[in-house]
């Protein structure tokens, strides 16, 4: 079976991080995001993957590289989720797996495909359960899993269940016939509601296991904490034993993944954080529940908590940063205090 990954969105909710690094390759515990999805597809012997990209495609290609099992399709204008799938038609040859390019999960793809086949479905939407469905696609089903309603980003008054579209589908080629070529077209707003209106067999499979959409700063950080605190073990094998930075006396770290090319100053403490290549951390620094990208310098006595710090930032001495997102190359002066205000 082949897979299509929809990875052409601009990642606006992750700005400023995605101004220079497109969402499909933002690092998750120092590994580019799509590597997690590609590894999951490899585990289930998916033969070929089509990556539908549009925003900064050359950066995605330079990170993930070329192979005869990975095809890139570049959109000049965004075609929407269904339009992107239609655009990959020439590569497809039957039942296809489609993934949003920003979901991290450990779904059993074999079980999902077997469920799809057992129901002779034209489309199977993988579902997951969340506390608040309002920022997702709400999916109602009958007891045997037949989808009765699909409502994208429901208002609070429309929330009738806790099952949402996990951004993973199994689709029969007939779905392609409903999508106009070269036009912006949405699975969520057009294809799924139209399939339901025409009475076609659309099923929802509630997949057990881990799932998160990494597309907002909060979820991006949460995905890290879930991996670092071992609540989620991804299919990508992380070389924990190689993550041994140069530690000065009294410095230590817990539940953290730190590139071996980093230097950590005396008495600095790092908890539940990931620190990417070539960072230089001063003395008595505290880094807690944070994600630090590459080439970052942090001065003595600074405290960073609940932050994401982009590539090559320079943070001065004795600063306090809390729940803050810094884009690449940001300079923070000594003694600064930065805290994201709650909206
Ligand atoms: N190629 C291409 N072209 N990809 C696109 C386009 C496009 O025009 N627009 C969006 N995508 C990709 C994004 O890159 C992302 O990987 C995926 O499609 C979904 O887009 P998001 O912008 O992240 O959507 P969302 O998170 O608000 O909602 C979607 O995901 C939820 C689960 O995380 C919907 O599918 C919801 O129904 C679903 O619950
Ligand atoms: Mg998303």
DSSP secondary structure letters along 54-82: -SSHHHHHHHH--BTTEEEEE-SS--HHH
Gap between the terminal Cα atoms of the chain? 44
CB-CB contact of 281 with 264 (8 Å):
yes
Overall average pLDDT of the 23-37 stretch: 96
**Joined tokens for residue 207:** 């997949």
- Is the CB of residue 102 below 6 angstroms from any atom belonging to ligand 1? yes
**How many C-alpha atoms does 24 have within 13 Å on its Cβ side?**
27
- Answer whether 133's CB lies under 8 Å from 151's CB: no
- How much of the chain exceeds pLDDT 90, in percent? 92
Residue 164 near ligand 1, beta carbon < 6 Å: yes
Contacts of 65 (CB under 8 A, 6+ apart): none
Ligand nearest to the CA of 23: 1
**Residue length, the chain?**
343
**With 60 as the cut, is the pLDDT of residue 223 above it?**
yes
Identify the structural domains of the chain with CATH numbers, from first to last. 2-228 (3.90.550.10), 246-339 (2.160.10.10)
Ligand 2 centre and the CA of 301: distance in Å? 37
CA distance 201 to 242: 49
CB-ligand 1 contact for 7 (6 Å cutoff): yes
26 CA to centre of ligand 1 in angstroms: 16
Cα gap 100→23, rounded to integer Å: 11
Confidence of residue 219 (pLDDT cuts 50, 70, 90): very high
pLDDT tens digits, 266-319: 999 999 999 999 999 999 999 999 999 999 999 999 999 999 999 999 999 999
* Distance from residue 212's CA to the centre of ligand 2 (Å): 9
Q: What share of the chain is helix, strand, coil (3-state, %, to 5)?
A: 25, 30, 45
- Sign, CA torsion 304/307/311/312: negative
At 144 the pLDDT is 95
Calculate mean pLDDT across residues 319-343: 91
- Pocket test residue of 3, 4, 8, 14 for ligand 1, highest count of atoms within 8 A of CB: 8
**Of the bound ligands, which one is closest to the alpha carbon of residue 211?**
1
Ligand 1 touching residue 79 (CB < 6 A): yes
Judge whether residue 342 has pLDDT over 60: no
172 lines ligand 1 (CB under 6 A): no
Q: Is the CB of 25 under 6 A from ligand 1?
A: no
**Which DSSP symbol is given to 122?**
S
Residue 90 to residue 273: CA distance in whole angstroms: 43
Judged against a pLDDT cut of 60, whether residue 216 lies above it is answered with: yes
Q: Is residue 133 in contact with ligand 1, taking CB distance under 6 Å?
A: no
pLDDT in tens, 45-81: 998 999 999 999 999 999 999 898 999 999 999 999 9
Nearest-atom index, ligand 1, CA of 215? 23
Residue 150 CA: which ligand is closest? 1
32 pLDDT more than 90: yes
How many angstroms is it from 50 CA to the middle of ligand 1? 16
Query: What is the best residue among 81, 161, 204, 220 to mutate for testing ligand 1's pocket, by most ligand atoms within 8 Å of CB?
Result: 81
Say whether pLDDT at 241 is over 70: no
Ligand 1 centroid from CA 15, angstroms: 16
For range 185-207, the mean pLDDT: 97
Q: How confident is the model at residue 244 (pLDDT cuts 50, 70, 90)?
A: confident
Average pLDDT score, the chain: 95
Cα 293 from Cα 16, distance rounded (Å): 13
Q: Which residue's entry shows tokens 């099992």? A: 69
Task: Name which of 85-89, 167-171, 246-250 the model is least confident about.
Answer: 246-250
Residues 6+ apart with CB under 8 A from 166: 103, 105, 107, 125, 126, 127, 128, 207, 211
**Residues 104/33, Cβ–Cβ less than 8 Å:** yes
CA–CA separation, 154 vs 151, rounded Å?
Answer: 6
pLDDT at 242: 65
Q: Is the pLDDT of residue 161 over 60?
A: yes
Distance CA(16)–CA(58), nearest Å, equals: 19
The ligand whose atoms approach the alpha carbon of 167 most closely is 1
CA gap 333, 24 in Å, rounded: 31
Nearest-CA residue for ligand 1 atom 10 is: 9
Is the distance from the beta carbon of residue 136 to the nearest atom of ligand 1 less than 6 Å?
Answer: yes
- The region, left, alpha or beta by phi > 0 then psi within -120 to 50, assigned to residue 153 is left
């Amino acid at each position: 079976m082949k897979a299509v990954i929809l990875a052409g969105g601009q990642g606006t909710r992750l700005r400023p991080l995605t101004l220079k690094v497109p969402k499909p390759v933002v690092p998750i515990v120092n590994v580019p995001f799509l590597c997690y999805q590609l590894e999951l597809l490899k585990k289930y012997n998916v033969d070929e993957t089509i990556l539908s990209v549009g925003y900064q495609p050359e950066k995605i290609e330079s990170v993930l590289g070329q192979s005869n099992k990975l095809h890139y399709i570049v959109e000049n204008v965004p075609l929407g989720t269904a339009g992107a799938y239609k655009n990959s038609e020439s590569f497809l040859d039957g039942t296809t797996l489609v993934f949003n390019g920003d979901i991290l999960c450990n779904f059993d793809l074999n079980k999902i495909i077997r469920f799809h086949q057992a129901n002779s479905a034209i489309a199977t939407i993988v579902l997951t359960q969340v506390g608040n469905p309002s920022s997702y696609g709400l999916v109602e089903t009958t007891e045997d899993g037949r989808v009765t309603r699909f409502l994208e980003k429901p208002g609070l008054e429309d929330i009738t269940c806790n099952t949402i579209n996990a951004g993973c589908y199994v689709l029969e080629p007939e779905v392609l016939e409903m999508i106009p070529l070269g036009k912006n077209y949405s699975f969520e707003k057009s294809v799924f509601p139209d399939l339901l209106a025409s009475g076609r067999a659309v099923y929802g499979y509630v997949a057990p296991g881990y799932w998160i959409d990494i597309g907002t700063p909060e979820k991006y950080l949460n995905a890290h904490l879930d991996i670092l605190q071992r609540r989620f073990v991804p299919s990508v094998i992380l070389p924990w034993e190689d993550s041994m930075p140069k530690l000065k006396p009294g410095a230590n770290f817990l539940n953290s993944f730190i590139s071996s090319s980093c230097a950590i100053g005396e008495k600095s403490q790092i908890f539940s954080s990931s620190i990417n290549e070539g960072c230089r951390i001063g003395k008595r620094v505290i880094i807690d529940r944070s994600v630090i990208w590459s080439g970052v310098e942090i001065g003595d006595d600074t405290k960073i908590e609940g932050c994401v710090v982009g590539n090559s930032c320079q943070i001065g001495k004795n600063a306090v940063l809390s729940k803050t997102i810094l884009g690449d190359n940001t300079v923070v002066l000594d003694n600064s205090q930065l805290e994201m205000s709650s909206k």
